[in-house]
Amino acid sequence: MDPTACISAYRQAFRQEPQAISFCPYRVSPLGTHVDHQGGPVHGFAIDQGITIAYEADPAGRVTLRSENFPGQLCFSLDEIPGTKLGDWGDHLRGAALLLSRRQRLWVGLTAFIRGTMPIGGLSSSASVIIAFLEALCRLNRVELSDRELIDLAQAVENQYVGVNCGKLDQSCEVLGRKDQLLYLDTLDDSFELIPTPTRMKPYGIAVFFSGLSRSLAGSGYNLRLDECRAAGYSLMAYAGLPYGAFADTRLRAVPREVFHAYRDRLPEAWARRAEHYYSEAARVEAGTAAWRAGDLEQYGQLIFQSGHSVIHSYECGCEQLITLYEILRDTPGIYGGCFSGAGFKGCCMALIDPEQRDTIEHRVAQQYLRAYPQLEGLYSFHLCHSADGIHEQRRFGQ
């Protein structure tokens, strides 16, 4: 993390020096897409790009925010935070302050400048900005949250305030991730393992191909897909005579795979496909764990491509441009595996690539994608990233 650009943007915006910096990385998830809200297992990395907040305490309890990525200045007071979202870029931050203030008294506000290093969409900048902001508020108000509390609180901000019913993949990668280690998280009980990259494994880089189309998850089809998964799970439990509880608490993880196979044909086709994705993706994560431990990058990459196929054809998200991008990645030499990054409603694709072939990959993908969508010239972009430590490590060393 290099905070220099954020510090100078802060100086320019507020004509003073910031007192401190808070940084939270973005994440990528090569396997385990769209299963975290169903209690499934996921893989992920924190990466060496993210959101920096440069700030100065405001003892009067005011919060004044500017962002490099959004226009205008937002102001609110910690004792009068709107109880519901307003529909602008401040929702994630007001939500974070409100939910934290319900647990702990907050009296010190801040004047802050926020800067993300990558285009928005697919790398989980929402979770990242929430976590960086919570960290700043906690530090100023001497609040101590454990990693688990921070992850849960950041997820609650999205679920309860912003209105996206996301799981905890993003927050977990951004907090728990470790450089050169693959995070395996079981979202059923939050148990996790950081699996080191075996020394015999070929080198890889994490490439991000930004489609040129940004969008936030609020208002996308994300919540609808989640309801379809729940509906599939609820119906399957009823057909099989299994005990079920509240619809809102239904997770496919509670439904054995055999039950799905026995009753699949009774489900509406769309719901059956969502469940199909869940079971196949959970199996890919387990197979991917074994491949990673064995240092088999080719096998791991094939699983990522299969995951991408399942998200397109069974989970049915993505958009024309993102699907084209995925197809180009699949046919590009030097790419071990690639898929949509994150929810896949616009945003970007990610891939594990051979770093030695970086230039040819960058050139070939850009050429083919922009031939299909010349209007996205200047908006499409390629970035080569690496795994990095999540903020757990920063907190440990008190940075």
Catalytic residue annotation: 170
Stretch that binds ligand GLA, among 54-62, 165-173, 239-247, 347-355 (CB under 6 A): 165-173
Cβ proximity to ligand GLA, 34 vs 264, nearer residue: 34
Report the residue closest to ligand GLA, judged by CB: 166
- Look up residue 375 and give its DSSP letter: G
Question: Least distance (Å) from ligand GLA to the CB of residue 341?
Answer: 8
Question: Least distance (Å) from ligand GLA to the CB of residue 218?
Answer: 11
Pick the binder of ligand GLA from 63, 169, 213, 350 (CB under 6 A).
Answer: 169
| Binding of ligand GLA by 170 (CB under 6 A) | yes
With contact defined as beta carbons under 8 Å apart, do 183 and 173 qualify?
Answer: yes
With contact defined as beta carbons under 8 Å apart, do 122 and 210 qualify?
Answer: yes
- Which residue, among 238, 178, 192, 227, has the nearest Cα to 386 in the 3D structure? 178
Cα–Cα dist 5/150, whole Å: 27
Pick the binder of ligand GLA from 13, 31, 37, 277 (CB under 6 A).
Answer: 37
DSSP H helical segments within 294-331, as ranges? Answer: 297-313, 320-330
| Binding of ligand GLA by 36 (CB under 6 A) | yes
| Binding of ligand GLA by 342 (CB under 6 A) | yes
**Beta strands 109-116; 62-67: pairing state:** parallel
Cα–Cα dist 28/349, whole Å: 10
Stretch that binds ligand GLA, among 34-42, 250-258, 262-270, 287-295 (CB under 6 A): 34-42
With contact defined as beta carbons under 8 Å apart, do 56 and 18 qualify?
Answer: yes
Cβ proximity to ligand GLA, 226 vs 254, nearer residue: 226
- Which residue, among 327, 354, 315, has the nearest Cα to 229 in the 3D structure? 315
From the number of C-beta atoms within 10 Å of its C-beta (0-12, 13-18, 19+), residue 253 rates as middle
Cβ proximity to ligand GLA, 205 vs 344, nearer residue: 344
Cβ proximity to ligand GLA, 18 vs 344, nearer residue: 344
Cα–Cα dist 121/348, whole Å: 6
| Binding of ligand GLA by 94 (CB under 6 A) | no
With contact defined as beta carbons under 8 Å apart, do 205 and 386 qualify?
Answer: yes
With contact defined as beta carbons under 8 Å apart, do 41 and 122 qualify?
Answer: no
Binding mask 122-161 for ligand GLA (x = CB under 6 A): --x-------------------------------------
| Binding of ligand GLA by 205 (CB under 6 A) | no
Stretch that binds ligand GLA, among 32-40, 58-66, 131-139, 237-245 (CB under 6 A): 32-40
Question: Least distance (Å) from ligand GLA to the CB of residue 278?
Answer: 11
Tell me the number of residues near ligand GLA by CB under 6 A. Answer: 12
Question: Least distance (Å) from ligand GLA to the CB of residue 201?
Answer: 24
Cα–Cα dist 310/296, whole Å: 21
- What are the strands of the beta sheet with 335-340, ordered from one edge? 335-340, 347-353, 205-213, 381-385
Cα–Cα dist 263/32, whole Å: 24
Cα–Cα dist 65/111, whole Å: 6
Question: Least distance (Å) from ligand GLA to the CB of residue 89?
Answer: 17
Question: Least distance (Å) from ligand GLA to the CB of residue 185?
Answer: 11
| Binding of ligand GLA by 347 (CB under 6 A) | no
Cβ proximity to ligand GLA, 64 vs 187, nearer residue: 187
Question: Least distance (Å) from ligand GLA to the CB of residue 35?
Answer: 7
| Binding of ligand GLA by 33 (CB under 6 A) | yes
Detail the DSSP E strand segments found in the chain. Answer: 20-28, 41-58, 62-67, 73-77, 109-116, 181-186, 191-196, 205-213, 335-340, 347-353, 381-385, 387-388
Stretch that binds ligand GLA, among 162-170, 328-336, 358-366, 368-376 (CB under 6 A): 162-170
| Binding of ligand GLA by 34 (CB under 6 A) | yes
Q: Which residues bind ligand GLA (CB under 6 A)?
A: 29, 33-34, 36-37, 124, 166-167, 169-170, 342-343
